[in-house]
Amino acid sequence: MARLLRSLLTQLRGVAIVAPWLAYLLFADLLLSLLLPFKFLFPDAVYNLSSQIASGVWRWIQHIFESYNGAVITTSGDTLIPGESAVVVANHVGWSDFYMIQKLAIRAGMLGRCRWFAKIQLRVVPFLGWGLWAMGMPLVSRNWAKDKLELERVFAGITDRKWPTWLISFSEATRFTQKKYDESQRWCEANNRPQPQHLLYPRTKGFVTTVQHLRKAPHVKAVYDMTIAYQRGAKFLGVPSFWETLSTPNLSQGSHNGGKGYRFHVHARRFLIEDLPHDDEGLAKWLEERWVEKGEWLEMKRVSWAGESL
């Protein structure tokens, strides 16, 4: 009975915390939708204003995760240059991956400039889809031949109008699960490719297309490779659900103190885009090599955390 009551109180707490943010999100989506007709006349102004609106939405949800719900995000790796535009690639474990990347975006002053690859189906969702399109989000089907016009639209804003941007993609194209990992292993064996530890083999077409276009933009200086790691208790890559990140307090506090015992970490590496291979095959191989290194880093992190107590 006591456990049921605690669960109910947690759900009610979550509703109370999220309701104001959700109302603001709907208001922001309405504003972004209203900006859409002006996008063709005043593209720079709409991009900058939509970035400011988005920054408020994302900063608020980040505050819920870290301040209200006690998530402690630790970081390591290279220092990212404030205000620098970049192509960002990351592994994908769960919803909370967004918080990991946003942590570094806030530090670099680029939160409102984050643009994420999103599913094209979202375009028809009233307000939300219109808002994403007004912001310049790439809405794709993952069929790169079909997505050509959409990508050219997004890339043109960055290359021609020099919009400051973090263009972010999860190169595995789906969240990590054990079933998908087993499928990835079988594919790698059949195609003579290395299987990275704790990761799915990356899909390289999107990365190659993005780099080949954005290296034409003089202000896009780097590729950021972000490796995201989690642990809950003894479970490596144990990740909270979406609702848990919004409703549950003491996420990073040890279970012996009444917390959930989650660890959150993001490791960043910065590579100058001018140093990357210039041919498509070389870029695909480069991403594959980074994923193998990410897997090695994740295994080191797993061993390190296994020897520590929260």
Q: What is the pLDDT of residues 245-303, one digit of tens each?
A: 999 999 998 877 667 899 999 999 999 999 999 999 999 999 999 999 999 999 999 99
Higher pLDDT, 39 or 271: 271
Q: How many CA atoms lie within 13 A of 61 on its CB side?
A: 24
Q: What is the pLDDT of residues 121-134, one digit of tens each?
A: 666 666 566 667 66
Q: How far is CA 53 from CA 30, 64, 86, 247, 273, in A?
A: 11, 17, 21, 24, 29
Find the length of the chain.
310
Average pLDDT for 211-220: 93
Could you tell me the two tokens for 251? Answer: 């996420």
Buried b (16+ CB within 10 A) or exposed e, 54-65: bbebbeebbebb
Task: Report helix angle 205-214 to 280-306, nearest 10.
Answer: 110
pTM over 0.75: yes
Q: What is the pLDDT of residue 71?
A: 95
Q: What is the pLDDT of residues 87-126, one digit of tens each?
A: 999 999 999 999 999 999 999 999 999 998 877 766 666 6
Residue carrying structure tokens 């090695």 = 296
Residue carrying structure tokens 């299987």 = 195
Q: What is the pLDDT of residues 129-184, one digit of tens each?
A: 666 766 777 777 767 667 777 778 778 889 999 999 999 999 998 899 999 999 99
Q: What is the pLDDT of residue 229?
A: 97
